[in-house]
Structure 1
Amino acid sequence: MLTSTLLAAATAPLEWTPSIGLIMITANLIAIVFAKFTIQYPNAEPALPAGNFFGGFGLPAVLATAAFGHILGVGIILGLHYLGRF
């Protein structure tokens, strides 16, 4: 019963396009800029092998920034899909 209700509420699938990829990249860049100015201890241990390549971030900051960027990107993409833009 619950499965049929969930399937009935499902929307049309979202196909990947290059514009969706650009939105996700942009969302992650925004998250990196936001993190650069707001994370109190960006170089917390454990350090990454090439720390300068990651903007001086340690592993916790990179993981948190990437997670926030993906959440932000998915929210934008699903919101635009709901509005009918994709």
Structure 2
Amino acid sequence: MLTSTLLAAATAPLQWSPAIGLIMIVANIIAIAFGKSSIKYPSSEPALPESKFFGGFGLPALLATTAFGHILGVGIILGLHNLGRF
């Protein structure tokens, strides 16, 4: 029963395009900017090599912001796909 419900809810596959890549990049930039202003200890250990290239983030902050950016980007992309924009 669950399998038939999941198959009924499936949509057409989403093909990658440069627009989708651009949405993901913008979502990650927004997430990093949000993290830069809201993370209490952005430079906690372990440090990244040449942290000035990573906005002064430590490894935990960088992983957290990029994970949030990917979740945000996937939500935007799937939402636009559901609306028929992609």
What's the TM-score bracket when you normalise by the shorter of the two chains?
A: over 0.9
How many positions carry a matched residue from both structures? 86
- Aligned-residue Cα RMSD (Å) equals 0.8
| Per-residue CA distance 1:7-28 (angstroms, 9 max, x = gap) | 1210111110000000000000
| Per-residue CA distance 1:18-76 (angstroms, 9 max, x = gap) | 00000000000001111111111000011011211101000000000000000000000
Q: CA deviation at 1:6?
A: 1.2
The gaps in structure 1 that reach 5 residues or longer are: none
| Separation (CA, whole Å) in 2 of partners of 1:73 and 1:20 | 9
Q: TM-score, normalised by structure 2?
A: 0.95
Match of 1:57? 57
Alignment of 1:22-41 (within 5 A): 22-41=22-41
Percent identity over the alignment? 79
Alignment of 1:1-86 (within 5 A): 1-86=1-86
